[in-house]
Structure 1
């Protein structure tokens, strides 16, 4: 019996170990670069934008198709309850010249089949339509680049949100650990008669007041990870673990040249897209004007027809008729529709010009703000690095003085709070710096 119990316990231990290994295997380890690559592959907004580029490519194929011949086959069957009537002058059948003779011709069953061909020879709107489709394809590609830049930026910022929340949790745990140590020291001094009961109670309350924030930060980590997974396009149930750390890296920022604004305007896909839309609107004006011009096409038809009073198809005669020719279509009056479309295209072009000028001013402001934010965060980091050193020294001195009975418990709490605040400010400054560099890369059009 004991042997059997031993086997059961051993089996459960191995099962638990195997289950733990499976659980660990399901946790996806992510660096920031990994998160970006996953987002570029799985993000749903990016997939929609990619499909839009495929659709615009097919629009080019469609536009070119209007310059190709159109071939259509047709077939028709008719059954006449009353046969067709033909009219002839009365003199043909011995009647007076002022009379009309009628008689029925053909069979009850009529069949008709043929092939018609039409080839545009001169149609200016076709050429303009191809140009419009090609420009639209290029504009859609720039829109895809914009979506890609937005996705990369959003993923990096979401990744940084998780990192700073984890660091804030770690900072809070350190604060609790320091206060717990202070509570332990206070109890020891109380037992020695060197500290008051009030100081011990105050130390206990301080520790307990820090715990709710610990719970909030723990919950916030789960929320920020959920946002990151949604941005990347991962399933919400999938577990992830971040591998990077929230560290200050001055090399991330490279001071731009004097023509930073011009470089940003040339690199931003949004600007290039609006420039293409302006060309697109101009070509649409040309396309609408072309609708007023004549259209010349080559046409041809070959058809066979037969009629009979029975369904003996083998006995049917199938005479064939055919022709080729030219067809000219000259627009004369279209109810002012063409003129209205021309006016609409001209107004749309004016709108795109205004939007382009406005976007350039927005880019100018974004570049200025982005550079200022990076520089501000850098200065805050340098300041907070010194502040942390001073706060740590102050905390150690105050702790030693408190243990010697020279400093009060209130002095001890202030020193610990100052140290925690200094580290929190430094952490926030590093986060702001990294976020500002991510935003600046997007503003300068460096995200490809």
Structure 2
């Protein structure tokens, strides 16, 4: 192989490897947009809409004419028999004469047409199919709300796990500094060996949490990629951060329920289901009505005893007319189907009423959780400031020999706990706002 070919091949391999190693940067909105495009559940829902559109086309097809061509070939091992009165064959009048007629080979071909003129179930079927198509669109909206909510929560879970890892690393850094100070003070005779050992043990007790949280970050990213629809092997980097925006206006609970009932796809879906069940009653009731169809047939036939097709005669017969079909008795099946449709409509009405009440409770709970987490953030923010001040004072006192090593450990633990509580409060607030958006139907 020539050297320049080896060089070009190696260059392409390096570019490919660098592209594979590059992490995909994702904001929260990027993750949502990717999920809407790539999530497999949403893809299935879109295919269902496509199938429903074809069902509408099928329903409309019942109003169009049906044209069929037919052909038939028969070879008679024994030719057909015609029965005639006896006097036609010189027999007594009370006798029946038999006469074999036709050829040994028979050919029949024709074209038939049936055009529905009046069939009540056709138009009910078209309306039902269109409602079913709208139903599948609402199913897509419902699935999208679930997927977007899951993606946002998975993204936030990955963020908080990463932030918890950073907090643990900060705690280890503080304790490592304290261990360094302990050794320095021990060398000066101003601290005991127990203080140094205690600082070392504290650091080693924190290291397993680093391993657990590091693995937790990878697990959270894997869950996020699966929810989005990305391949598990693709590396991603989350660019957003856990942050609290205190300027966001509060949502009025008085109008929240009305907004939710109007926007939620579950409610719209049940409203459409109720209409569909009403249309199903009309569809089944149409079975009691007569059916009128326009019919027509053009047919040619011939019979022969040989295969000299050029000598055959093909006489044509044709007709057009109207066909009337009046249902009289169907074993009570139609009445039973009508009653089933009425029960289904009653079920959908009850489900609609129940869903509205569940949404009312869901909105109330979501608003309560948002407000609760907002208050916790405000409270924990002050606690973190106080804990930081307490830690600095205790650390200075410990260096001066006024405070004990145990006091410093307590102050560091309180600071870590305060930061962790604040982080958890921000996470709870953000997840609560995600749940509130879903409860209000703001995710479409």
User: Helix, strand or coil: the match of 1:263?
Assistant: helix
Inter-partner Cα distance in structure 1 for 2:283 and 2:226: 43
Render the CA deviation track for 1:66-109: whole Å, top value 9, x for unaligned: 11111111111111111111111111121111111111111111
Relative distance call for 1:337 and 1:154 in structure 2 (3 A) is same
Partner of 1:263: 259
Relative distance call for 1:163 and 1:191 in structure 2 (3 A) is same
Tell me how far 1:439 sits from its aligned partner: 1.0
1:360 paired with 2:356, answer yes
User: Helix, strand or coil: the match of 2:190?
Assistant: coil
Partner of 1:75: 71
Partner of 1:139: 135
Tell me how far 1:336 sits from its aligned partner: 1.4
Render the CA deviation track for 1:258-299: whole Å, top value 9, x for unaligned: 322112101111100000000100110111111111111111
Partner of 1:417: 413
The answer on whether the counterparts of 2:21 and 2:235 sit within 8 Å (CA) in structure 1 is: no
Alignment of 1:282-297 (within 5 A): 282-297=278-293
For residue 227 of structure 1, the aligned residue among 220, 223, 230 is: 223
Partner of 1:341: 337
Relative distance call for 1:401 and 1:389 in structure 2 (3 A) is same
For residue 381 of structure 2, the aligned residue among 381, 385, 394 is: 385
Inter-partner Cα distance in structure 2 for 1:53 and 1:251: 41
User: Helix, strand or coil: the match of 1:259?
Assistant: helix
User: Helix, strand or coil: the match of 1:71?
Assistant: strand
For residue 122 of structure 1, the aligned residue among 112, 115, 118 is: 118
The answer on whether the counterparts of 2:128 and 2:276 sit within 8 Å (CA) in structure 1 is: yes
Render the CA deviation track for 1:388-439: whole Å, top value 9, x for unaligned: 1000000000001111111111111100000000000110111111111111
Tell me how far 1:253 sits from its aligned partner: 5.3
Tell me how far 1:254 sits from its aligned partner: 4.6
User: Helix, strand or coil: the match of 1:111?
Assistant: strand
Structure 1 residue ranges, 4+ long, deviating more than 4 angstroms after superposition: 17-21, 251-254
The answer on whether the counterparts of 2:366 and 2:436 sit within 8 Å (CA) in structure 1 is: yes
Tell me how far 1:257 sits from its aligned partner: 6.5
The answer on whether the counterparts of 1:175 and 1:420 sit within 8 Å (CA) in structure 2 is: yes
1:43 paired with 2:56, answer no
Inter-partner Cα distance in structure 1 for 2:218 and 2:141: 30
User: What's the TM-score once normalised by structure 2's chain length?
Assistant: 0.95
User: Helix, strand or coil: the match of 1:331?
Assistant: coil
For residue 27 of structure 2, the aligned residue among 15, 31, 51 is: 31
The answer on whether the counterparts of 1:252 and 1:437 sit within 8 Å (CA) in structure 2 is: no
Unaligned stretches of 5+ residues in structure 2: 1-6
Tell me how far 1:25 sits from its aligned partner: 5.5
The answer on whether the counterparts of 1:253 and 1:437 sit within 8 Å (CA) in structure 2 is: no
Inter-partner Cα distance in structure 2 for 1:20 and 1:406: 61
